Amino acid sequence: MNSKLHEPVLLHEVVNMLNCSPGKSYVDCTLGSGGHAEAILERLGGNGKLIGIDCDESAIAAASDRLQRFGAEFVSIHDNFVNIGDILKRLNVEFVDGILFDLGVSSNQLDEPSRGFSFRNDGPLDMRMDSSLSTSACELVNQLPERDLSELLWNYGEERKSRRIARRIVEARKRKAIRTTKELADIVIKASPSRGRIHPATRTFQALRIAVNRELEMLRDVLERAACLLSAGGRICVISYHSLEDRIVKREFLRLSKSIPVLVSRTCRGELARPNGQASLPLLKLVTKKPVVPSREEMFSNRRCRSAKMRVAERVE
Ligand SMILES: C[S@@+](CC[C@H](N)C(=O)[O-])C[C@H]1O[C@@H](n2cnc3c(N)ncnc32)[C@H](O)[C@@H]1O
């Protein structure tokens, strides 16, 4: 694992938006190397709880090391955040005061060549955040039919040259299996030479990573579950790094901030149903109408935060 720690994005904004103060309890659903978690625990001042979840075992190990001084106030769980309901049940926690999602991969994951996330370092074409997942990027690249590959690049990478890149990948893999990040990046560069500021392989790598880890499905599935676990006035805070994620967060927060027919309500919104059975009460109210973005100073000091957008919503009584 690379020794340089991931720099937490929008750190002060997160801690303030989550109203962190002694006696409260939080879940950091994307613990990473524990930067946000550490700042939250410091605000709890020795009186509170933070449950940190990550699907990457090496992130759990690094964060547990960093946060061990907080003793029983910090609990780490190796799991997918989509299981947040079961995780809290196992810990006998009914409600929490705040939940954080800082989506995507950490710098530690990106910078470690053996994880295969980046076209900037040569390594095996892997991209699994959780190494117990059965499908890696290598399988997708070498086994998906051309049409599915092209759709994947279009849907998850918004790659305009998706068809051409998919065709070149299929031609190349007929000659020899594509096994490394450099081999894939070279094929993409040939199919779509650089014209703008971003590296030509950026969108292809993003798309594969999202597909391997089923990132958008997980995000879609978890937000309502998480909102149901907040105590009244508790907040949910999501930092996303590309428009596909931000769109899901924006739409889900909007949907959960409106009354909806009880019949389509599958989780705790059913319990909030009005006696006449017509519509459930809103679960959330929006705290940020527009997303919070990093300051110019933060963008200057941490390039990776440039695309960050944070949205916050609050559980209504
Ligand atoms: C951007 S990093 C978080 C960095 C963290 N906030 C910090 O300050 O160090 C995202 C982390 O979320 C984890 N992750 C992404 N999707 C996940 C999921 N569905 N379930 C659990 N962890 C996930 C990744 O493994 C990664 O460690």
Decide which of 194, 213, 232 is a domain's last residue.
213
The residue to mutate among 9, 27, 54, having the most atoms of ligand 1 within 8 angstroms of its beta carbon, is 54
Distance 241 CA to ligand 1 centre (A): 12
Distance 237 CA to ligand 1 centre (A): 14
Range of the domain at 55: 11-108+215-315
Query: Is residue 4 included in any domain, yes or no?
Result: no
Neighbouring C-beta atoms of residue 261, cutoff 10 Å: 12
Query: Is residue 140 included in any domain, yes or no?
Result: yes
Q: Is 218 in the pocket of ligand 1 (CB under 6 A)?
A: yes
Query: Is residue 2 included in any domain, yes or no?
Result: no
Q: Are 185 and 201 in contact (CB under 8 A)?
A: yes
Q: Is 6 in the pocket of ligand 1 (CB under 6 A)?
A: yes
Q: Which atom of ligand 1 is nearest to the CA of 35?
A: 8
Report CA 214 to chain centroid distance, whole Å: 10
Distance 9 CA to ligand 1 centre (A): 12
Residues ≥6 apart with Cβ < 8 Å to 184: 119, 125, 137, 141, 169, 178, 201, 204, 205
Query: Is residue 3 included in any domain, yes or no?
Result: no
Distance 309 CA to ligand 1 centre (A): 16
Query: Is residue 222 included in any domain, yes or no?
Result: yes
Query: Is residue 83 included in any domain, yes or no?
Result: yes
The angle subtended at Cα 278 by Cα 94 and Cα 285, nearest 5°, is 50
Q: Which CATH number do you get for residue 296?
A: 3.40.50.150
Beta-strand ranges (E) seen in 90-229 are 96-102
Per-residue pLDDT of the chain (317 residues; tens, 9 = 90+): 445 678 999 999 999 999 999 999 999 999 999 999 999 999 999 999 999 999 999 999 999 999 999 999 999 999 999 999 999 999 999 999 999 999 999 999 999 999 999 999 999 999 999 999 999 999 999 999 999 999 999 999 999 999 999 999 999 999 999 999 999 999 999 998 877 778 999 999 999 999 999 999 999 999 999 999 999 999 999 999 999 999 999 999 999 999 765 544 455 655 444 455 566 789 999 999 999 999 999 999 998 899 999 999 999 97
Q: Is 106 in the pocket of ligand 1 (CB under 6 A)?
A: yes
Query: Is residue 5 included in any domain, yes or no?
Result: no
| Tokens 């190349």 found at | 172
Decide which of 213, 235, 252 is a domain's last residue.
213
Neighbouring C-beta atoms of residue 233, cutoff 10 Å: 12
Distance 238 CA to ligand 1 centre (A): 12
Q: Which atom of ligand 1 is nearest to the CA of 80?
A: 20
Q: Are residues 145 and 287 in the same domain?
A: no
Decide which of 183, 213, 243 is a domain's last residue.
213
Q: Are residues 45 and 100 in the same domain?
A: yes
The residue to mutate among 15, 30, 239, 240, having the most atoms of ligand 1 within 8 angstroms of its beta carbon, is 30
Q: How many domains does the chain have?
A: 2
Q: Is 52 in the pocket of ligand 1 (CB under 6 A)?
A: no
Specify the pTM.
0.93
